[in-house]
Chains A and B, each alone.
Chain A
């Protein structure tokens, strides 16, 4: 069990509570094989105008935790405990009718596969207008349509008044994602949860969409939670990064700290698993062995221990017996990590970095 003091939910948090505060969030689902704990003891926060990147693999709980922020889990089956505060309002346990007023209005969500996430039988403009009217009941159909066209125009869809009458399948992949973003932003939300918003897109289209998201964030001063497995996207978009593994946060800090001075072997594994488009071509890929852990029967001790290449550096088999807490790094202030290694920074600099990015070392080399 991890108890994190509220003051440490965000590294370097300033005065006043951030727009979104998640504290000690736990989400459990019953399944036929038993209860699974999809998210456990998760805490983070996002301020307006800032972007939090959540990184993790399938089953890490990154999407489950964000769906909980919107209250999208079936309240009858999912057991949600802890606290989620949106603009100071507690939403865990909030009634469905009150939650509905927040969804799509204060907090909206952008999904990965816009082709599947937009209804195939309704026109794009109609789907946007519907999102507007549900939170503006006094608006007429014409007003809603005008607003929809305005938003389509804002996200860069050419001839928006004509394209509003198209069905989603008549849009290209990039345009569909733009329409999805337009729908997410039509009610001026303060928090946008973007779940792998560019994963299905080509790189040049991905670049366009990321540009658009950043422009819109600047314009509306919204907070963004960006869920992705692409470390490059995170590096360019996020202010803070939360790395999740097996339903828990395992590393949390500013984007710069997490990606340049990672403190947790799982993050190292992620970094060494992806080739760099500009790095040394001779740098080997060092995969993380094995597969992600079962949420049904998580391994004892640290959830990452069966795949960890550095547990030999921790004495007394601590890794296989005791779950490490998410604590501040001894060397980097405000940087939280869940690992028993005494000085992970030193291990990373001495062992990992020279292998995965030899050219970085040469740059720092005084010779």
Chain B
């Protein structure tokens, strides 16, 4: 049976509320000068769709990830949020190279090696540095292996430590993630959900990774356990200087964990910014809709529902995404230009990029597309011979110059 059946033990360890509150579990802060540990440039993953004839042909592609660029700073955390089918999990799987991307680059580590095009053999030494934590602690651990075997397997695969020392290292890791090191010979089913997630974390830590891709690491856990795991991840981040790509649909959890957040919709990043900018002054209508949809506990004081932006319908198919801006079919402020021209992911602040023709805070959308002049089109999105398009930097990372929305011109920091 699970360890939950030890009723008399005192789980608090004699701690009081003030003791726990005094522990440093403050969310990590943004270090704007940290060098990137991972730079993703124009990453694309198109899965072919086969016809069902006698001879199968490729009749289309699921554009799961379509031109995504971002940076994860060393020891930092980038949050990737969006609804199911937006491509956030595919992005995580590309970075751990569970899939080979269709195109694009992923520069990793100090030597900035492009891991996108590497063969599995070339990748092997790098796999140690990029590890993944999965959502479901019930299916991601082999039920027939002991915890020691699960956590120790990477050590043996990569020949990191002599066989005799594997157990010692396993016990160390179990202790680090808050499990009893004597339990290395137990099986996953003897642990509760939260403890299993800790085992998954210990496995990911085994090889001292530089980057952890955490795909919904807490969404399968009970509320009280979620906080335990989040705090553990933060402690580990601080202690071992690990960078995180934190993929989740829970906007509040991402906000708590990540100083920087990217919002994805239908395979593209629509907005990326530091935490405060994104949550307090988002400029993309989709981000605004997402944020307004999160139910708020504070509403209890007032009663009833919060005012929210209602998005109609469902996310369109990634096989045949809408022309122009992919969000336009559900966008409350879409205009003609949105169907004709795809908005670039344009930098509009020191650490803020948004892909919208009408970027503004909620309710302040401009009448005319701010991007028209830059893209060389008129307000309806038709080509305008009189205007020369301006080059808009769409690479990963942030430039020293950006387009100021108030003054409608490029400004520098």
Contact = CB atoms under 8 A, between A and B. Distances in A.
B3 to A, nearest CB: 7
B304 interface: yes
Interface in A272-297: 272-279, 281-282, 284-294, 296-297
A306 B8 contact: yes
Interface residues of A, number: 70
Given A233-B295, A299-B7, A351-B18, A289 B13 contact: yes
A278 B298 contact: yes
A312 B192 contact: no
B295 A273 contact: no
A277 B296 contact: yes
A277 B16 contact: no
B224 A288 contact: yes
Contacts of B8: 299-300, 306
Contacts of A309: 12, 15-17, 19-20
Interface stretch (A1-9, A102-110, A254-262): A254-262
Given A259-B297, A310-B16, A202 B84 contact: yes
A204 B311 contact: yes
A255 B300 contact: yes
Interface in B350-403: none
A355 B11 contact: no
A290 B11 contact: yes
Interface in B171-199: 192-195
A107 B247 CA distance: 39
A291 B12 contact: no
B276 interface: yes
Interface stretch (B62-70, B205-213, B252-260): B252-260
Interface string B293-322: 111111111011110101100110000000
A365 interface: no
B88 to A, nearest CB: 12
A287 B228 contact: yes
Given A235-B296, A236-B295, A259-B297, A273 B256 contact: no
A236 B296 CA distance: 7
Nearest to B193: A58
Interface residues of B, number: 70
Contact of A297 (B5, B15, B249): B5
B26 A256 contact: no
Contact of B310 (A207, A229, A277): A207
Interface string B1-41: 11111111111110111111101011100000000000000
A309 B300 CA distance: 25
Contacts of A290: 9, 11-12
B256 A207 contact: no
Given A236-B295, A259-B300, A306-B12, A204 B290 contact: yes
B301 A273 contact: no
A202 B249 contact: yes
A32 to B, nearest CB: 10
B187 to A, nearest CB: 17
A70 B138 CA distance: 30
Contacts of B329: none
Given A173-B84, A207-B310, A236-B306, A289 B11 contact: yes
Of the candidates A206, A237, A286, A297, the one having the most CB atoms from chain B within 10 angstroms of its own CB is A286
Contact of B227 (A258, A273, A293, A297): A273
Given A203-B251, A208-B310, A287-B225, 9 more contacts: A205-B83, A211-B310, A232-B299, A235-B296, A236-B299, A255-B300, A282-B26, A291-B4, A352-B17
15 contacts: A208-B310, A237-B305, A273-B227, A274-B297, A276-B296, A277-B294, A284-B25, A284-B26, A288-B227, A289-B15, A292-B4, A306-B7, A306-B8, A308-B12, A351-B17
